Amino acid sequence: MYRRVMAFDFDGTLATDGRVPHELEAALERCRASGHALFLVTGRRFETVALGPLGELFNGIVWENGAVLSHCASGEVLLPFGQLSPRLLKALEEADVPLERGLAIAATWAPHDQTIWRVLGTHPYGGGAAVEYNKGAVMIVPSGAAKGAGLERLLTICGFSPRNLAAFGDAENDLSMLTLAEVGVAVADAVPAVLDMADMVTVQSGPAGVLEVLRQYPLAGQYYDVPLRRERPIPIGQAMEQDGSGREITLPASRLAGRNLGVFGDSGTGKSWMVGLLAEGMHHQEYQVLLVDMEGDFRGLQVLPRFLALDGDRSSMPSPATVVSLLDAAGVSVVLDLSRYPLELRSGYVARLLRVLRPLRERKYRPQWVVLEEAQQLLAPGGEVTEALAPMLEAGGWALVSYRPDRMDRAILQGLHHCLLTRLTEPEAVRAVRHFCRDCGADEPAMKEIPVGAALMCGGPLVLLRSAIRRVTHVRHLFKYLDVPLPPGKRFWFRDARGAVGKEAASLYEFLQLIPIVPIESLEYHDRRQDFVQWSAEALGDQALAVRLRKLSNRQLGGEELRNALRQTVASHYDELDKLR
């Protein structure tokens, strides 16, 4: 349901002979009442169309082929590309070209275009104007002006994104608008160039074709679920096929924005890595992303342009209203790092964030992709985050990340459309995925055998994940501590509440070897105190491992479950570093 902004050409699309049918006007009124944003985009000169009550339905109007913008709420009129040079207009008139002048453009008809091209080819006029065609009409517009360029400017002014846009047109000058849009719709009698590039072609012509699509999709409460000619693919890796061909595997960004994704797998198997790949890809494809990062795994995304990382402790964390105001006004993507925020307060903070975010999602349909990490903590049955998310889930664009989906609320799991899986071994978690994921055909053995660094797409192949730009490559200073002993003052000395237990780890390798044999009371003692986190960060200088161990500590595991999770986390990290040597 995220494609809730619609833009319409006027002549030949909404109107025939300058008139919009009453039935279509009523349908547009119902679309606006149901929460859609509507824009009119026309080559007509400014205010030369008597729209009457129809004009009140539009958030904005693009006149003169993109050269004149009207912001309906404020009444402001903008000329973002300037006006034609008076010297050019005089030269065209002296060349006997009949002109109809607007605020910013001039228009005529074929075959005068040949004279126009000859005049533009003479100094000094060539760089200050361009020619656009609308069937038999010929428009001379300021350089840079086009329907798509003007609409993009007006969407920004109104706080909307082209990634939420479905555009309807029929003529050559609509091509830039349909190219801008997420979904381009051509009416049946459109010119061949428009028919060729459209994602959807109506059965009926002109206004009847527009009405056909409105009834089938927005008025029926349906998502524009059509194959796109420009899917905006996000590369995630290579297929692990028996023939070794390694074909590239991508996910369409529109599928993530329009549906709900579950990302499930054991700790240390690559879930965060995969989510980072998808977040990078969505951001590069100009979708706005909000990533609620419980353990500080995703701060590296801030190296991307217009991707911010926000964090804080109990006193310095930005308020939910501040975060949403930033998303609204600046249009940036945000990682919200809660790793320093008190664990017992996080659910309340995220619940408040979702309640404040809901009006932005309903009014401006963004951010288009929202990620909730550690979903088993946030989305337990009856929890306050679960209650806040439930009414927002149907609109799509959510990604829920968890190592124990079986601990999540059943209604939330039922709202998922597809899954990405890393290795998943807990039987109850496997059963939950198979029960609730609509497209998942993987059985329990297949989930347990997914290699680290790979992922299984529901209904698709096993994928070897690609590397990502967020990965910190400067890790040579860590290599020497994988196997070479640390100085005595930096080694890890195991103890419990009663005192030392006679075991020390002089390297990460030794630490890994001791995990299976150190008394569980000692592991629990250090885990509660976050001693493993401190040693990784301060003695090893390995912030990535410290983040993983902090996440593990926050789960408050005990007994052999803690031992196994600790061994898995450290072994996975050790193997990653070892491969980079």
Taking only the tens place, the pLDDT of each residue in 482-521 is: 777 887 888 999 999 998 888 999 899 999 999 999 999 9
Would you state the pLDDT for residue 485?
82
Nearest to 304 by CA among 469, 536, 155, 458: 469
Taking only the tens place, the pLDDT of each residue in 335-389 is: 999 989 999 999 999 999 999 999 999 999 999 999 999 999 999 999 999 999 9
Using 50, 70 and 90 to split pLDDT, how confident is the model at 152?
very high
Q: Does 135 or 504 have the greater pLDDT score?
A: 504
What are the extents of the domains in the chain?
A: 1-75+147-226, 82-143, 233-465, 476-580
Would you state the pLDDT for residue 480?
55
For domain 233-465, the CATH architecture is 3-Layer(aba) Sandwich (3.40)
Question: In angstroms, what CA-CA distances link 33 with 29, 57, 107, 523?
Answer: 6, 9, 36, 59
220-239 burial code (b ≥16 CB/10 A, e <16): eeebbeeebeeebbbebbbb
Contacts of 33 (CB under 8 A, 6+ apart): none
DSSP line for 220-275? GT-------SS--EEEEEEE--TT----EEEEEHHHHHHS-EEEE--TTSSHHHHH
Question: 1-75+147-226 and 233-465: same fold?
Answer: yes
Would you state the pLDDT for residue 125?
62
1-75+147-226: which CATH topology?
Rossmann fold (3.40.50)
Contact present, 203 and 187 (Cβ < 8 Å): no
Would you state the pLDDT for residue 542?
82
What are the beta bridge partners of residue 108?
Answer: 138
Taking only the tens place, the pLDDT of each residue in 237-254 is: 888 866 556 788 889 999
For residue 72, pLDDT over 50 is answered with yes
For residue 204, pLDDT over 80 is answered with yes
Would you state the pLDDT for residue 471?
39
Q: How many whole angstroms separate alpha carbon 419 and alpha carbon 504? A: 42
Would you state the pLDDT for residue 302?
86
